Structure 1
Amino acid sequence: MANHETQQQQQQHQRPRQHRRSKGRHAAARPAAPARVPLRMLLRVASVAGGIQFGWALQLSLLTPYVQQLGIPHVWASIIWLCGPLSGLLVQPLVGHLSDRCTSRFGRRRPFILGGALSIVAAVLIIGHSADIGWWFGDTLEHRPWAVGVFVFGFWILDVANNVTQGPCRALLGDLTGKDQRRTRVANAYYSLFMAIGNILGYATGSYSGWYKVFAFTLTPACNISCANLKSAFFLDIIFIAVTTYISIVAAKEVPLSSSGAHPVEEAAAGESGTAGEAFLWELFGTFRYFSTPVWTILTVTALTWIGWFPFLLFDTDWMGREIYGGEPNEGPNYDTGVRMGALGLLLNSVVLGVTSVLLERLCRKQGPGFLWGISNILMAVCFISMLVVTYVANNIGYVGKDLPPTGIVIASLIIFTILGFPLAVSCSISC
């Protein structure tokens, strides 16, 4: 009897061991899960967004006033900005198409990021030295046709270069995260974070008037203090874009695409993407006829929204210099002071935009994206109407052209700029 009980106990001890061995064999048979990309790598790769956005902030805050100082009439200034939408429509899809099939040993995305960053450096050097180049070709302080031509050339290169760099950077983050949705959300959050940092630093740089003292060599016979500040700000942009680009491309571990196009990431989607790449833009336009009425409504409202945003983004600092401070380009210090104050307003706008972007997912879960989008559009309309009211009050007080604006007018303008950060964040996220 004792021997029988001893045998039963031994069998019971052996069963868990056999079960554990069986589980071990099954676990060994399952393929190992792919290693998750380190958060530190995503953070470093996304940092280039800060360098790109730093230049965008300088471009939006300073270049519309500067081109008028070169002699281009106010009504024609917006024509120069047409390159932005055109390059976004044509360059980004083309760069995406080419980078998907790039067989460089450095990877698919990094060559385009580096090439775009070098083009940005070349473009801002051309823009910053446009007055000097025109002077060398015979321009005078009153007539600057050469400077205007050089400026426009550099400006269009800058818009194209920005689009060349942004698309591959986002695509690189997508390549690194793969199908890991959590890592993808983190990567997008990092990208948005660096965009906000770049905006804040860029607008802060544009609002400071003493950069020409740091870079004293920027003052030349053809380049006054305002021009020298712009040139100096672009030197800071070059340093920032160089550092962030280096950090980004060194951190990324890209697997080169073979000459046959067989890449681990692409194999799963090879059957779907082959014809799509060849169709290019035509397939995109061909899908319009399949859109339902709600989709057309969303697209129409989005288009009307950006018709409102576009003039604000182009002429915000110019509005502050002309309508609030009563100045004119090249006619006294009021205009330049107003432009710098407008850049300060855009800095506050970027802070609100960044905070809203961080909280937007939670707000959408709580209130719904449609409700937030509607509220943001109403708020945008109220702010733009408020700008008309502030302009009317400023022009009827009687200080314009004689003195600096009252503190209340300036504060009201800055509040409008700040509040507009919320609807701008929603327009850039939910409706897109």
Structure 2
Amino acid sequence: MTIDGSAGIESGIQRDDNKNERDRLILSESPSRRNQRPKRSFCQLLRNGSQQFALEFAFSCETALGTPIVLQLGLPTVLQGLCWVLGPICGFVLGPLIGSLSDNCTSRWGRRRPFIFVLNLLVIVGCAGYLNVQYISNDGLGITVALLGILLVDLCAFLTESTSRAYLLDVCDVDEVTRGLLMRTVIGGLGCGCAYLVAGINWVNTPLGVVIKSNYELIFLLTVLVYIVCGILTITSIAEEPLVIKREDEKEDEVGMQTMKKYTTEVDREGLSPPEDEAVPTLRERITSIFRMPTCMRWLCVTHFFGWASFTTIVLYFTDYFAQEVLHGVPTAPINSTAFQLYQEGTRLASWGLCGFGFSTAVLSLLFLKIRSCFSTKALYIGPPLIFGICVGSMAFFVDYQILTLVLCSSFSLIFVTITTIPYDILANYHSDEQFTHPQNGPIRGQGTDMGILFAMTFLGQIVISILIGPLVTATNSQLPVVIMTTIMAFLSVICAFFVTYQ
């Protein structure tokens, strides 16, 4: 799941501002004009956010079907993590570059819409790759095409999400951005639920089975249709003005009630002029900066890493876990065998469980602001991951209870909504403290840099889990490491959350 999330309102605003601050590029508009955008109607915001439905639809289909497809093609279990490790690595490197290119785009369409259009096409190409490998007779070539397809979907869906959010920021004032992001949260949850619903139906046994050869073929056609409709709705929702980009040497200005620092430049503590043409940090520089963080920031990043690693483990591998461990199916068994049919049935049933996760995420997102007013930040950062860890851990003890396992999928929404909102709110509070941003024994800390480090934990979590799961499953000859690793990571995030500084 785009995975870059979709449930955070304030965090979404901060995350998208990150690219602009990092590259030190701003629009040739004054801050006052940026806050005086025309009011957008509900219909405009709804159309603008429809892209999120397509993103979650494509990504959820990928998480439900990606691992089963490559395993059925014969990819060794020890290498199954290849599906999910390539996209985060590429996103870690290419994310800032795409953000910088879109900031500098001078197309008459605007800065963001050309990139959204191209990235949407690449997602469709990726879906065509991994959902149509059954027509490739060579298994080795089929595995390669499937992995490349999953890579394209994983990478381009993330890039599209960040670019489309930047599009919303460019054409709306701060108040409208808050409404727009809330709509995206709900729309994304609905897209996620619908995708798992589609993946959970055996379409071959329906009247459509007369015109389609496999379930994957219909899922691909539906994905293309969803992307065409949602893409057109988004691109035509609000016109962008082609704006001249220039550099501005001025101190950070805080914009709107969210106190989001938009399109700003950093100034060192002595008041010197900001650096010119600062390069996008390299991977090595980012890793080095992690070890130079204040203690409170380090604990926040470690907690965020374990939270995302926990969520990623169960979401990416749940369909395969359910099909093999609960229904005892075998992905590499002969097509007409009972073991293979059980595996196919298991992936469909697991998709129904994940469907509950998607729709419960949409409902929880609607209620989240009210929930925030009833509990402290610390309680919200500890409680939901703890409940999630208990629910997933109990799956290991109730392997024979299919319905209970599927019902417990709804608990996934607890940690998802938490890790896509709370950490970014905590970071915003840190940056409201001058002692944090201007430490006595260190350089000034920019919000953009810290946001980038925190967001990088999502990639790092998926990379680590993708490397570990395959060997663990192979060594134990069981899928139980999926739920065990999920539970361990969830409990580690809870323990670390006690050491996070809350203001």
Distance apart, 1:289 and its partner CA: 5.3
TM-score, normalised to structure 1, is 0.78
Report the equivalent of 2:140.
Answer: 145
Please give the per-residue CA displacement for 1:345-391, whole angstroms capped at 9, x wherever unaligned: 00111122111122222212220222111001211221221121123
2:123 counterpart of 1:130 = no
1:295 to 294, 297, 319: 297
2:194 counterpart of 1:201 = yes
Secondary structure in 2 matching 1:390: coil
2:370 counterpart of 1:362 = yes
Preserved contact between residue 124 and residue 158 of structure 1 (Cα < 8 Å)? yes
CA–CA distance in 1 between the matches of 2:60 and 2:89? 19
CA–CA distance in 2 between the matches of 1:276 and 1:388? 55
Q: Which has the higher helix share?
A: 1
2:46 counterpart of 1:43 = yes
Report the equivalent of 1:158.
Answer: 153
CA–CA distance in 1 between the matches of 2:66 and 2:414? 24
1:414 to 406, 415, 432: 406
Preserved contact between residue 53 and residue 195 of structure 1 (Cα < 8 Å)? yes
Which amino acid is the alignment partner of residue 188 of structure 1? L
CA–CA distance in 1 between the matches of 2:276 and 2:197? 43
Secondary structure in 2 matching 1:104: coil
Trace 1:1-400 onto structure 2 (pairs within 5 A). Answer: 34-132=37-135, 134-135=136-137, 139=138, 144-178=139-173, 180=174, 182-211=175-204, 214=208, 216=210, 218-219=212-213, 228-258=214-244, 261=246, 272=265, 278-282=278-282, 287-288=289-290, 291-329=293-331, 330=333, 331-391=339-399, 394=400
CA–CA distance in 2 between the matches of 1:255 and 1:112? 15
Which amino acid is the alignment partner of residue 101 of structure 1? N
Q: 1:92 to 1:324 in 2, by over 3 A?
A: same
Q: 1:415 to 1:118 in 2, by over 3 A?
A: same
Which amino acid is the alignment partner of residue 173 of structure 1? L
Secondary structure in 1 matching 2:340: coil
Preserved contact between residue 95 and residue 167 of structure 1 (Cα < 8 Å)? no
CA–CA distance in 1 between the matches of 2:287 and 2:111? 27
Q: 1:356 to 1:214 in 2, by over 3 A?
A: same
**How many residues are matched?**
364
Distance apart, 1:287 and its partner CA: 4.9
Please give the per-residue CA displacement for 1:119-178, whole angstroms capped at 9, x wherever unaligned: 11111112222231x32xxx3xxxx11111111122212222212311110101111223
CA–CA distance in 1 between the matches of 2:292 and 2:363? 37
Which amino acid is the alignment partner of residue 306 of structure 1? W
Preserved contact between residue 87 and residue 160 of structure 1 (Cα < 8 Å)? yes
CA–CA distance in 2 between the matches of 1:211 and 1:161? 30
Which amino acid is the alignment partner of residue 202 of structure 1? A
CA–CA distance in 1 between the matches of 2:153 and 2:275? 32
Q: 1:246 to 1:381 in 2, by over 3 A?
A: same
Please give the per-residue CA displacement for 1:290-345, whole angstroms capped at 9, x wherever unaligned: 53222211211111222222221111011111111111114331111111110000
CA–CA distance in 1 between the matches of 2:307 and 2:359? 21
Which one has a bigger Cα radius of gyration? 1
Q: 1:424 to 1:34 in 2, by over 3 A?
A: closer
Q: 1:57 to 1:34 in 2, by over 3 A?
A: closer
Unaligned runs of 5+ in 2: 1-32, 254-261, 267-273, 334-338, 425-503
CA–CA distance in 1 between the matches of 2:289 and 2:373? 30
Which amino acid is the alignment partner of residue 207 of structure 1? G
Report the equivalent of 2:17.
Answer: none
CA–CA distance in 1 between the matches of 2:277 and 2:343? 49
Preserved contact between residue 321 and residue 334 of structure 1 (Cα < 8 Å)? yes
Which amino acid is the alignment partner of residue 171 of structure 1? A
Which amino acid is the alignment partner of residue 140 of structure 2? P
Structure number with higher relative contact order (C-alpha < 8 Å, ≥ 6 residues apart): 2
Preserved contact between residue 186 and residue 363 of structure 2 (Cα < 8 Å)? no
Distance apart, 1:37 and its partner CA: 2.6
Report the equivalent of 2:27.
Answer: none
TM-score, normalised to structure 2, is 0.68
Unaligned runs of 5+ in 1: 1-30, 220-227, 395-408
CA–CA distance in 1 between the matches of 2:94 and 2:231? 20
